[in-house]
Amino acid sequence: MAADYDAIIVGAGVVGVFTAWALQERGLKICLVDREVGPAQQTSAANAGVIAPGYVAPFASPGAARKAFINLFQEDRAFSWAPSASASQWHWLLRWLSQGKQTRYERNRASMFALATYSQACLHEVANRLGLSYRSVPAYHVVFRTKEDFERSQSLRQQLNNAGLVHRVLSRDELFTFEPSLRDASLPIEAALQVQGDEAGDCRAFVIKLWEQLMAGGMHWLGSTAVDSISTVSSSLSECVLADGRRLRAKHLILAAGPWSLTLLKGPKHRIPIYPIRGFSLTWDEASIPASVLPRLRQLGTALMDDRYKIAITPLHSDGTSSLRAAGMALLGPPAASDRIALARQREAANTLWRIASQWFSGLPQATFDQANSHARALPRFWIGSRPMLPDGLPVIGSLSQHASQSGLWINSGHGSTGWAMAAGSAYLLADLILGALPSCDSLAVSRLPSKAIGSASLEARSNRLGARPSTYPIDTMDFSPLRWCRRAQN
């Protein structure tokens, strides 16, 4: 039985498209399948776009459960919960709670940080080499509304210090000097945190550009094509069955179906608890932005995180036009990513996003869920995304078999809240595993060993082989390399 392709990738979100790229670049004959008509139509479609390795951290942290509980009773809450009768929600919740211990949190965070740091270097390299722009703004500020909020960020600042990240605290006036277009903001601002090298960009726009490069390079694209099942045929052949009954075979089959990955997993299903944690965004395109706001938005050169509400405010500048996106909130809701979210919750999320965004830029129109009025004037686009999340917050990257060498089934999924920030690195890591250039990366593998922090050694080995890839960031004053960070993580 012959293989149709060297590799088939199921899922054309940011993770699947990057994975396709990393493999096609190595000369593999690729087929990319997605049930959507084009790439990045689901979780990668309208996220906050932030790339800030210093803040990449698991949801499960010391005190997170208490904070989430208190949050349930607050207005404009960052976290909400729709209890489900499904055992999988409770199962996930219990496993999530068990990851909140300090030592586990630190270990998980170190792994994510290493991956995100490496990933940013890979993204820069790919974007530079192909001449593709991805960056909308070259800065990101986490803004604290009150003194108490700022004081609570002490451990975060300590983590940035420990990681050797160059950062500084700005007063309200310093923030406004740095970013004059924020001067009319009506919220209280105690301080803002700025980390050198943080940035934001339109994830979907970049994924589409990369997908176009893949197409130009000969990749076979199967859009509007759902995959029903995946399996191994032999030690050197894997197969996916499409919804129309067709069978496609390849030496390697990679599952990158984000929050839907679990639906295609039969055997090791219970070991990969990927849960769809919903989040929301509102995007105001130029047509829906009042004339009083537009000039300031065009000048806005930073993305913002309103720490109190965990809502990101991101300007998206591209081809002479500017949009504004507010994104955030976490809903532990129905267990299947395709399950519907109650309209009342959608309204609540849209109102919260609008209220907070309006405190930064007043006069923004509100979203409407009223069909009759929806065409009457330009309105923001409302989006629901499902973060594919594991209880420990780490993605799962590696073989789906206990014996990697005997199976061509692989997974690259579970990137949670930071898939855009980790996709490029995850893709190169998986490509190295598939091609045998890296023997293993235990801390991200299906058979995770809880006692070992990432793959720092693996990432270092990987960084050593970067070859043409940059040894330092091409951002002017950035003075550390992924390799150096990996060394730091090991200490």
Ligand X SMILES: Cc1cc2nc3c(=O)[nH]c(=O)nc-3n(C[C@H](O)[C@H](O)[C@H](O)COP(=O)(O)OP(=O)(O)OC[C@H]3O[C@@H](n4cnc5c(N)ncnc54)[C@H](O)[C@@H]3O)c2cc1C
Q: How far is the CB of 122 from ligand X (least distance, A)?
A: 14
Specify the residue, 332 or 405, whose C-beta has the smaller distance to ligand X: 332
CA distance 20 to 41: 17
Specify the residue, 427 or 490, whose C-beta has the smaller distance to ligand X: 427
Q: Quick check: 459 binds ligand X (CB under 6 A)?
A: no
Q: Quick check: 316 binds ligand X (CB under 6 A)?
A: no
DSSP for residue 233: E
Specify the residue, 10 or 293, whose C-beta has the smaller distance to ligand X: 10
Q: How far is the CB of 422 from ligand X (least distance, A)?
A: 7
Specify the residue, 241 or 457, whose C-beta has the smaller distance to ligand X: 241
Residue 240 CB contacts under 8 Å (≥ 6 apart), including other chains: 8, 10, 33, 227, 228, 229, 230, 231, 247, 248, 253
Q: Quick check: 201 binds ligand X (CB under 6 A)?
A: no
Q: Quick check: 19 binds ligand X (CB under 6 A)?
A: no
Q: Quick check: 12 binds ligand X (CB under 6 A)?
A: yes
| Structure-token pair, residue 329 | 């909130």
Spell out the alpha helix ranges (H) of 179-336: 203-216, 294-299
SS3 content of the chain, % helix, strand, coil (to 5): 35, 25, 40
Task: Please provide the distance, in angstroms rounded to a whole number, between the alpha carbons at the two ends of the chain.
Answer: 49
Q: Quick check: 466 binds ligand X (CB under 6 A)?
A: no
Q: How far is the CB of 116 from ligand X (least distance, A)?
A: 8
* Contacting range for ligand X; rule: CB under 6 A; set: 44-52, 151-159, 168-176, 457-465: 44-52
Give me the DSSP letters along 75-86: TT-SEEE---S-
Nearest alpha-carbon partner for 420 in 8, 13, 107, 11: 13
Q: Quick check: 327 binds ligand X (CB under 6 A)?
A: yes
Specify the residue, 56 or 489, whose C-beta has the smaller distance to ligand X: 56
Q: Quick check: 425 binds ligand X (CB under 6 A)?
A: no
Q: How far is the CB of 434 from ligand X (least distance, A)?
A: 17
Q: Quick check: 315 binds ligand X (CB under 6 A)?
A: no
Specify the residue, 3 or 15, whose C-beta has the smaller distance to ligand X: 15
Q: Quick check: 304 binds ligand X (CB under 6 A)?
A: no
**Cα torsion angle, 33, 35, 40, 42, sign:** negative
Q: Quick check: 281 binds ligand X (CB under 6 A)?
A: yes
Specify the residue, 58 or 388, whose C-beta has the smaller distance to ligand X: 388
Q: Quick check: 302 binds ligand X (CB under 6 A)?
A: no
Say if residues 374 and 368 touch (Cβ distance below 8 Å): yes
Say if residues 238 and 250 touch (Cβ distance below 8 Å): yes
Q: How far is the CB of 49 from ligand X (least distance, A)?
A: 5
Q: How far is the CB of 14 from ligand X (least distance, A)?
A: 5
Q: Quick check: 204 binds ligand X (CB under 6 A)?
A: no
CA distance 24 to 220: 11
Q: Is 430 helix (H, G, I), strand (E, B) or coil?
A: helix
Q: How far is the CB of 110 from ligand X (least distance, A)?
A: 18
CA distance 440 to 443: 9
Cβ neighbours around 472 below 10 Å, total:
14
Q: Which of 24, 44, 322, 399 binds ligand X (CB under 6 A)?
A: 44
Q: How would you classify the pairing of strands 237-242 and 227-234?
A: antiparallel
Q: Which of 3, 7, 14, 112 binds ligand X (CB under 6 A)?
A: 14
CA distance 390 to 414: 6
Nearest alpha-carbon partner for 276 in 296, 255, 256, 261: 261
Q: Quick check: 36 binds ligand X (CB under 6 A)?
A: yes
Q: How far is the CB of 39 from ligand X (least distance, A)?
A: 7
Specify the residue, 280 or 485, whose C-beta has the smaller distance to ligand X: 280
Q: Quick check: 387 binds ligand X (CB under 6 A)?
A: yes
For ligand X (CB under 6 A), the number of binding residues is 44
CA distance 279 to 281: 7
CA distance 374 to 358: 20
Q: How far is the CB of 57 from ligand X (least distance, A)?
A: 12
Q: How far is the CB of 386 from ligand X (least distance, A)?
A: 7
Q: Which of 21, 49, 104, 348 binds ligand X (CB under 6 A)?
A: 49
Residue 45 CB contacts under 8 Å (≥ 6 apart), including other chains: 203, 204, 383, 385
Q: How far is the CB of 19 from ligand X (least distance, A)?
A: 9
Residue 42 CB contacts under 8 Å (≥ 6 apart), including other chains: 13, 36, 258, 259, 385, 386
Q: Which residues bind ligand X (CB under 6 A)?
A: 10-16, 33-36, 41-44, 47-50, 226-227, 256-260, 264, 279-281, 312, 327-328, 385, 387-388, 413, 415-421
